[in-house]
């Protein structure tokens, strides 16, 4: 079910990893950002939009990970965008007919058979350096950075004072560095946080890719929490992070194992 988080901005939270699909209302329809995970959820979202008399006029994927590259036929054939870096990564990873089978093999057991993959990754890369999503609605500024994944975009809807963060600034997931391709993953993440900090005064609502929405008094706290984790990660000293260990949200205890693996991989790069 859609829930309004700001004027003209609504979200739909998936049961899978609390993934947030974001709907931004425009003059002729809606912009749909990271639209969801399971087919049933996306069909429900399409039905909710239909009941509101809204059609999808544009889509956007914040970054090139499978759960942010999905689409459903009921959304129609609106153009789907990503940054140039995001689209290049998709082309490199999904270049052939076997891509769907490989992604199916990566899916967590609880969503196997439930995720529509026919339209996976059908996005158009915006020209390098594009700073705005081209659509008939509120200005959506693209803040491109390399934290978490190549060509990652956080999106500032300044008119609505909303930051659609992508997979950063979560209250349930630790910062996940790009340890597969980035030469300086820690520096990349810290640079991204500085970019987001520069717009923090323009933001009353942060919608992370996973987890709960942060409101005005929590925005800088989310940035500081991610920064503290990233700075401490090389030494492995993240005892105070609320997302790891005994203080983790019930059902998210596995994040501690994710942290341990990430810390080990980072140490092996030194």
Contacts of 251 (CB under 8 A, 6+ apart): none
Residue 100, pLDDT > 90, answer: no
Domain 3-269: which CATH number of 3.30.70.100, 3.60.15.10, 3.10.580.10, 3.20.20.70: 3.60.15.10
Report DSSP state, residue 55: -
pLDDT number for residue 270: 64
Instruction: Give the residue-averaged pLDDT of 194-211.
Output: 97
Domain ranges of the chain: 3-269
pLDDT number for residue 105: 86
pLDDT tens digits for range 59-83? 999 999 999 999 999 999 999 999 9
Q: How far apart are CA 235 and CA 222, in angstroms?
A: 21
pLDDT tens digits for range 112-149? 999 999 899 999 999 999 999 999 999 999 999 999 99
Longest dimension (CA), the chain: 55
* Alpha helices per DSSP H over the chain: 39-51, 84-93, 99-106, 185-198, 219-232, 255-269
Share of the chain above pLDDT 70, in %: 99
Q: How far apart are CA 270 and CA 267, in angstroms?
A: 6
Buried b (16+ CB within 10 A) or exposed e, 124-134: ebbeeeeeebe
User: How many CB atoms are located within 10 Å of the residue 224 CB?
Assistant: 12
pLDDT number for residue 95: 72
pLDDT tens digits for range 212-233? 999 988 999 999 999 999 999 9
pLDDT number for residue 208: 98
């Amino acid at each position: 079910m859609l829930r309004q988080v700001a004027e003209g901005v609504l979200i739909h939270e998936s049961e899978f990893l609390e993934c947030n699909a974001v709907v931004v209302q425009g003059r002729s329809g809606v912009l749909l950002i990271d639209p969801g995970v399971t087919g049933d959820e996306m069909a429900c979202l399409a039905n909710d939009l239909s009941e509101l008399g809204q059609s999808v006029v544009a889509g956007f994927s914040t970054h090139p990970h499978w759960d942010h590259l999905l689409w459903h036929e009921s959304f129609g054939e609106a153009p789907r965008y990503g940054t140039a870096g995001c689209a290049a990564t998709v082309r490199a990873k999904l270049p052939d007919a076997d891509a769907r089978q490989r992604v199916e093999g990566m899916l967590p057991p609880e969503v196997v058979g439930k995720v529509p993959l026919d339209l996976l990754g059908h996005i158009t890369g915006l020209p390098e350096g594009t700073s705005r999503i081209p659509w008939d609605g509120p200005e959506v500024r693209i803040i491109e950075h390399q934290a978490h994944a190549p060509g990652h975009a956080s999106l500032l809807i300044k008119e609505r004072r909303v930051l659609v963060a992508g997979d950063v600034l979560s209250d349930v997931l630790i910062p996940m560095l790009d340890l597969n391709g980035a030469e300086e993953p820690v520096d990349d993440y810290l640079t991204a946080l500085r970019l987001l900090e520069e717009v923090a005064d323009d933001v009353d609502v942060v919608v992370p890719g996973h987890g709960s929405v942060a409101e005005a008094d929590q925005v800088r706290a989310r940035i500081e929490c991610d920064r503290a984790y990233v700075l401490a990660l090389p030494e492995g000293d993240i005892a105070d992070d609320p997302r790891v260990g005994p203080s983790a949200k019930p059902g998210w205890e596995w994040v501690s194992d994710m942290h341990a693996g990430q810390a080990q991989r980072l140490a092996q790069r030194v």
